[in-house]
């Protein structure tokens, strides 16, 4: 229905913008694209996905490790080196917990917490990807996410080099409901990894979101979201119109008005926020498998952007990992009714930069 052309960006809330940005750029090889008060846009040179940081101040709530993102290195030895480097510079970068490297889901990974309390993973699928048949599974998300190796000269002195920004995470209380909504309404690709985990991605890229079952997920601010890119402003309008007319049938429980705001680079932003319940829930309710009580908002925000634009699929990150260091309490079965309530936002940016030229992608627009 949405027909996105890319999974374009992900948003992260932090407490101190400069402290978190230092971790992203000096420990994870991100580069700063732009910055304005309270917000910074970062990008890894080998990845199409953009990371947008939102400063929320010292009172911003702490996030569990289930709210994490990940970068990938080429060898398992680099993961060990990353652990050593992070441990040696823990005080300098005001890092939280740092987990010893462990094997999980075919990856060898080191998890740590940045100053804004967000979790990050430095992963390696070196052994998994040696067999082509295995590497092709799950939409190829465990294959290298880069076409060219990011050289050590550009990230020297650490002993490891993040080659790509690979994934984020989401929560679910009903994977089938989520899968139905992602595929039928958002036109995304979904691959089941296990009984409690699915991978969500756009068909054109390997960047993916891990969506895992988890009980009693916490709700955080709209600063946690992802962004889908669509082809035009009209497609954003069409999506909003469709949700207005058929939202209940599609699984949308709340729809906010379209809004237009002028920006500093001769662009406008159209925005609509949607509190969306996975569309499979209605059918299960008719079969008597789901409670008729109004569902509580879950912690997922997504923005659906347009090309030069955006229906940003802005998600509140929640969930994931069943790693030995940060075990998940999620279960494939639960005594609670299966519910999945997610909030969505859509926005648009005009196709012209101050120079009058059309940018190749939304992230090239000045802000």
Q: Which domain holds residue 64?
A: 6-364
On whether residue 321 sits in a domain, the answer given is yes
Residue 13 belongs to domain with CATH number: 3.10.180.10
Q: What is the C-alpha separation between 231 and 319, in angstroms, rounded?
A: 30
Residues 6+ apart with CB under 8 A from 138: 191, 193, 199
Estimate to the nearest angstrom the gap between the alpha carbon of 157 and the chain centroid.
29
Number of Cβ within 10 Å of residue 200's Cβ equals 27
Tell me the three state secondary structure of residue 315.
coil
Residue 345: what pLDDT? 52
Tokens of 181: 């909504």
Over residues 296-354, the pLDDT tens digits come to 333 333 444 443 334 433 333 333 333 434 433 333 333 333 334 344 455 554 434 33
On whether residue 198 sits in a domain, the answer given is yes
On whether residue 333 sits in a domain, the answer given is yes
Residue 103: what pLDDT? 94
Phi-psi region of 213 (alpha: psi -120 to 50; beta: other; left: phi over 0): beta
Which of 68 and 366 is assigned the larger pLDDT?
Answer: 68
Q: What is the C-alpha separation between 46 and 332, in angstroms, rounded?
A: 35
What burial class does residue 221 get, using C-beta atoms within 10 Å of its C-beta: 0-12 exposed, 13-18 middle, 19+ buried?
middle
Residue 177: what pLDDT? 85
Q: What is the C-alpha separation between 240 and 2, in angstroms, rounded?
A: 10
Q: What is the C-alpha separation between 33 and 72, in angstroms, rounded?
A: 21
On whether residue 245 sits in a domain, the answer given is yes
Residue 240: what pLDDT? 80
Residue 259: what pLDDT? 63
Contact present, 202 and 278 (Cβ < 8 Å)? no
Residue 354: what pLDDT? 37
Over residues 26-80, the pLDDT tens digits come to 999 999 999 999 999 999 999 999 999 999 999 999 988 877 999 999 999 999 9
On whether residue 1 sits in a domain, the answer given is no
What's the total number of domains in the chain? 1
On whether residue 119 sits in a domain, the answer given is yes
Q: Name the average pLDDT for the chain.
A: 75
DSSP 183-229: HHTS--EEEEEETTEEEEE-TT-S-EEEEEE-SS-----TTSEEEEE
């Amino acid at each position: 229905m949405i027909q996105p052309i890319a999974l374009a960006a992900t948003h992260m809330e932090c407490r101190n913008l400069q402290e978190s940005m230092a971790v992203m750029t000096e420990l994870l090889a991100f580069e700063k694209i732009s910055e304005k008060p309270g917000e910074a846009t970062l990008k890894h040179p080998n990845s199409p996905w953009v990371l947008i940081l939102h400063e929320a101040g010292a009172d911003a709530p702490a996030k569990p490790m289930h709210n994490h993102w990940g970068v990938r290195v080429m060898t398992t030895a680099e993961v060990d080196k990353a652990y050593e480097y992070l441990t040696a510079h823990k005080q300098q970068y005001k890092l939280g917990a740092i987990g010893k490297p462990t094997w999980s889901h075919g990856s060898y990974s080191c998890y740590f917490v940045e100053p804004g309390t967000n979790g990050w993973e430095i992963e390696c699928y070196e052994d998994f990807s040696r067999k082509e048949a295995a590497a092709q599974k799950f939409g190829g998300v465990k294959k290298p996410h880069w076409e060219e190796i990011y050289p050590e000269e550009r990230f020297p002195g650490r002993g490891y080099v993040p080659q790509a920004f690979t994934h984020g995470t989401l929560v679910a209380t009903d994977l089938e409901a989520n899968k139905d909504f992602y595929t039928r309404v958002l036109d995304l690709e979904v691959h089941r990894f296990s009984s409690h985990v699915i991978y969500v991605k756009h068909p054109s890229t390997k960047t993916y979101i891990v969506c895992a079952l988890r009980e009693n997920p916490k709700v955080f601010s709209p600063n946690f979201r992802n962004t889908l890119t669509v082809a035009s402003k009209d497609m954003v309008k069409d999506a909003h119109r469709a949700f207005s007319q058929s939202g209940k049938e599609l699984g949308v429980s709340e729809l906010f008005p379209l809004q237009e705001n002028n920006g500093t680079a001769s662009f406008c932003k159209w925005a609509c926020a949607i509190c969306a319940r996975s569309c499979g829930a209605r059918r299960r309710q008719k079969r008597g498998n789901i409670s008729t009580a109004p569902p509580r908002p879950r912690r997922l925000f997504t923005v659906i952007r347009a090309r030069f634009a955006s229906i940003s699929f802005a998600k509140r990150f929640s969930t994931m990992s069943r790693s030995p260091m940060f075990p998940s309490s999620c279960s494939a079965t639960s005594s609670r009714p299966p519910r999945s309530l997610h909030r969505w936002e859509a926005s648009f940016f005009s196709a012209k930069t101050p120079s009058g030229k059309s940018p190749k992608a939304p992230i090239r627009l000045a802000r």
